[in-house]
Amino acid sequence: MTHVRIVMVNTTLPANIGSALRAMKTMGLSQLVLVAPKTYPHPDIDALAAGAQDLVEKIKIVDTLEQAIQDCHIVFGTSARSRTIPWPLLDARPAAELSMDAVITRQQEIAIVFGREDRGLTNEELALANYHLTIPVNTDYGVLNVAQAIQVICYEMRMATLAQVQNDQASSDSQKMQVTEKIEMDWDEPLVNHQQMEEFYPHLEKMLVDIEFLDPQNPRLLPLRLRRLFGRAQLDRMEYHLLRGIFSRVQALSHGKWKKTALDKEEQSDV
In three-state secondary structure terms, 134 is strand
Does residue 193 bind a copy of itself (CB under 8 A)?
Answer: yes
Q: Which stretch binds a copy of itself (CB under 8 A): 20-28, 34-42, 56-64, 113-121?
A: 20-28
Does residue 169 bind a copy of itself (CB under 8 A)?
Answer: no
Local structure of residue 83 (DSSP, 8 states): -
**From candidates 44, 222, 237, 244, binder to a copy of itself by CB under 8 A:** 222
Which residues inside 104-143 make contact with a copy of itself, applying CB under 8 A? Answer: 105-106, 108-109, 127-130, 135-138, 141-143
180-189: long-range contacts (C-beta < 8 A, 24 or more apart)? 187/236, 188/236, 188/238, 189/236, 189/237, 189/238, 189/239
**From candidates 63, 81, 88, 170, binder to a copy of itself by CB under 8 A:** 88
Does residue 202 bind a copy of itself (CB under 8 A)?
Answer: no
Does residue 79 bind a copy of itself (CB under 8 A)?
Answer: no
Q: Which stretch binds a copy of itself (CB under 8 A): 4-12, 32-40, 112-120, 212-220?
A: 212-220
In angstroms, the CA 79 to CA 134 distance is 6
Query: Comparing C-alpha atoms, which of 16, 122, 24, 141 is closest to residue 78?
Result: 122
Does residue 59 bind a copy of itself (CB under 8 A)?
Answer: no
The number of C-alpha atoms within 13 Å of 151 and in the hemisphere containing its C-beta is 9
Does residue 184 bind a copy of itself (CB under 8 A)?
Answer: yes
Does residue 80 bind a copy of itself (CB under 8 A)?
Answer: no
Smallest distance, Å, CB 205 to a copy of itself?
A: 12
Binding mask 242-271 for a copy of itself (x = CB under 8 A): x--xx--xx--xx-----xxxxx--xx--x
Which residues contact residue 205 at a Cβ distance below 8 angstroms, ignoring those fewer than 6 apart?
214, 219, 223, 226
Q: Could you tell me the sign of the dihedral formed by the alpha carbons of 74, 79, 83, 88, in that order?
A: positive
Binding mask 143-162 for a copy of itself (x = CB under 8 A): xxx--x--xx--x--xx--x
Q: Which is nearer to a copy of itself, 56 or 127 (CB)?
A: 127
In angstroms, the CA 51 to CA 77 distance is 28
